Amino acid sequence: MNLHEYQGKELLSSYGVRIQRGIVAQNADEAVTAAKKLTEDTGTGWHVIKAQVHAGGRGKGGGVKLAKNLDEVKTIAGQIIGMDLVTPQTSAEGKRVHQVLVAEDVYYPGDNEPEEYYMSVLLNRGTGRNMIMYSTEGGMDIETVAEETPHLIFTEEIDPSTGILPFQARKIAFNLGLSGVAFKEMTKFVTSLYTAYVKSDSSLFEINPVLKTSDDKIMAVDAKVTLDANALYRHKDLAELRDLREESPIEVEAGALGLNYVDLDGNVGCMVNGAGLAMATMDLIKQAGGEPANFLDVGGTADAKRVEEAFRIILKDDGVKAILINIFGGIVRCDRVAQGVVDAYKNMGDAIKVPIIVRLQGTNADIAKELIDNSGLDVMSATEFQEAADKVQAVLA
């Protein structure tokens, strides 16, 4: 589960990580109130107005702007709230902005130039250990840094039994070229950052940029936080931070029904039991010249009610031109699934306007095929994988 920048920063701050301070606002007036409060608390005269959407690259899309007085705060916040922000990480339609973070300006001039670094904490799946990835090249696309100057990206693996050790924090500060106050600040920053990552059961922290201010403070200016959804049961407070407006409405609805559904761009809807078979089915659709419109794992029970729910979810997507049902009847018998498909189809009246191909394999597959073939509905049966692919190809042609 992804958090907004402002939520991620609050999480970091609660573990002692220094952050660029800010207050979230839902409209231009709230933004002005927030800016006044920030000036009282921090003494800042300038503010940055930052769109809060689940997408990076906001700066490039015009979603991060500097305001030099309260009038500008009001104008800019008014412009950003309600806009459809397009960034390199969104679709061409962009993401609607519902709120902004009004933050203190931390790029103020001083003895030194402010400097930006990159830092993330994530799992190295190869070694099964968490690692801290960091670079002197902050503020830009880390993918570009990885491509053009890979030697400027460092990693530090953390032993889960000890957590981050003091020498590791010092090594990171050293590799970033820091000394004096900034060096000490950085060791504290990475140590609390790592603690926050572990304690919150996160699966990704990406802080880009980490800033060294002109007076040598180290702080998080941005925060991308992804929590491990499977651990949310032990973080009730964090679970509440979910913002459904940021998620695909169909996925939210499917999730509430207990269906494992991921919305995709293609033209063939699929209904499958088991994630592995669902993946194989998507490959099959591609080979047949189609594109999967979704990933959908209906799970163990594929009775009429469940099949009907899955049908309704799949058909919410206008792009769907055919539906492929691919079910392996192990514990659930194929004839029961077939009956479920027939009942659901009849129940839905004329809601189904696209051809349906059903492949049922496993216990009682032959009875299931008969049931489908004798139903008199616009449903085609298949027993073999290739046969199903051929039928998909035929209906798309």
Dist CA 318 CA 241 (whole Å): 31
Whether 387 sits among the annotated catalytic residues: the reply is no
- Answer for which of 209, 266, 290, 329 binds ligand GDP (CB under 6 A) is 209
Catalytic pick among 6, 118, 134, 261: 118
Dist CA 76 CA 65 (whole Å): 7
Binding mask 126-165 for ligand GDP (x = CB under 6 A): -------------x--------------------------
Binding of ligand GDP by 319 (CB under 6 A): no
Segment 221 to 280, residues that bind Mn ion, using CB under 5 A:
222
Dist CA 139 CA 206 (whole Å): 11
Whether 118 sits among the annotated catalytic residues: the reply is yes
- Answer for which of 16, 37, 66, 237 binds ligand GDP (CB under 6 A) is 66
Q: Which is nearer to ligand GDP, 67 or 238 (CB)?
A: 67
Q: Which is nearer to Mn ion, 13 or 363 (CB)?
A: 13
Q: What three-state secondary structure class fits 363?
A: coil
Reading phi first (left if > 0) and then psi (alpha if -120 to 50, else beta), residue 57 is in left
- Answer for which of 7, 200, 203, 208 binds Mn ion (CB under 5 A) is 208
Q: What residues contact residue 103 under an 8 Å CB cut-off, 6+ apart?
A: 20, 21, 22, 38, 47, 48, 49, 50
Segment 62 to 81, residues that bind Mn ion, using CB under 5 A:
none
For residue 153, give the nearest of 168, 162, 143 by alpha carbon: 143
Q: Which is nearer to Mn ion, 2 or 281 (CB)?
A: 2
Catalytic pick among 104, 115, 185, 206: 206
Closest approach of Cβ 182 to ligand GDP, in Å?
A: 18
- Answer for which of 27, 30, 57, 201 binds ligand GDP (CB under 6 A) is 57
Residues paired with 361 in a beta bridge = 328
Closest approach of Cβ 154 to ligand GDP, in Å?
A: 20
Other residues' Cβ atoms within 10 Å of the Cβ of residue 109: 8
Q: What is the DSSP string of 248-264?
A: -HHHHHHHHTT-EEEE-
With 0-12 CB in 10 A as exposed, 13-18 as middle and 19+ as buried, what is 180? exposed
Residues that bind Mn ion (CB under 5 A): 208, 222
Residues that bind ligand GDP (CB under 6 A): 20, 48, 50, 56-59, 64, 66, 105-107, 139, 208-209, 221-222
